Amino acid sequence: MQVGNARYRLAKDFPAAIPVFPLAGALLLPGGRMPLNIFEPRYLQMVDEAIGGARLIGMIQPSLDGALRGDGEPELCSVGCAGRIISLTETGDGRYLISLQGVCRFRTTHEMTVKTPFRQCRIAPFLADLEEDQAGADVDRPALLKAFRAYLQANDLEADWESVSRAENAMLVNALSMMAPYGPAEKQALLEAADLKTRAETLIAITEMTLAREGEDFGSSLQ
C-alpha cells in the first residue's frame, strides 16, 4: 500500500512500536482518512514526535468494558488501526489539525513502559490489509446500498449518490463503516471483521438492527 511517499508491504516496513491515541467511538480503516483536532499537550507532543519519525499513529479504542489501569488510564482494545499523518496545519491557538490515512490494522502485543506522556504499544500489523486487492468483488454491493439508503431515508438524510456510484467496493465499505454513527462496540466489530466481505455484512446487520429498533420496516423501505 502506498501512503504519501511511503510504501507498506511487509512487517519490517513498520516500527516495532507506535504511539497510540485512545479515542472512544473513533474508527479508522485501511485507506480511510480521519481528521483530528489535537489540543491536549500530551497529544501535541505525540504528533511532534510522530512527524519527526515514522509519521504513524495508532488509533485505538479504550476497552469496551470500561476497565482502568492502576493509574486511572483506560485499558485498551487489542486491535486498532495505524494511520500515517498526511497533512498537518497549526492553528493560531496552539492546536494541530491533522489528517490520518489508514494504513493497516494491528494487534497490540503489549504496551510499553515509557517516559513520554503519551502511550506507546508494540504491534503486529495485519499484513493482509496491505494487499491491493482486498476481495472487493465478494461484497454484496446491492445489499450494502439498500441498507445505506434505508438508513438515510429513516433519518431524513441525503448522500452524494454520484460519488457513491463511482466508489469501488473496498472504498465504499470502509467509508460507510467509518462514517456510520454507531457506538464503540459496533465500531470495534467493524474494525475486527475478518475481511472486507465480512465487514460489509456486519455493517448491513448493524444497520438492519438499528432500523428495527427505531421501528422502521427495513424490508419495505426501499420498495
Over residues 167-202, the pLDDT tens digits come to: 888 888 998 999 888 999 999 999 999 999 999 999
Residue 27: count of CB within 10 angstroms of its CB: 24
pTM, to two decimals: 0.90
- Residue with the bigger pLDDT between 161 and 128: it is 128
Helix 169-179 × helix 196-213 angle, to 10° = 40
The confidence score (pLDDT) of residue 221 equals: 42
The confidence score (pLDDT) of residue 138 equals: 85
First to last CA, the chain: 40
Over residues 70-82, the pLDDT tens digits come to: 889 999 999 999 9
- Residue 155's pLDDT band (cuts 50, 70, 90): confident
**Nearest by Cα to 75 from 130, 6, 24, 18:** 24
Greatest CA separation found in the chain? 59
Q: What is the mean pLDDT of residues 46-58?
A: 96
Mean pLDDT of the chain: 90
Burial of 198 (0-12, 13-18, 19+ CB in 10 A): middle
User: What residue type is 120 in one-letter code?
Assistant: Q
* Domains with residue ranges and CATH for the chain: 2-130 (2.30.130.40), 136-220 (no CATH)
Q: What is the mean pLDDT of residues 83-87?
A: 97
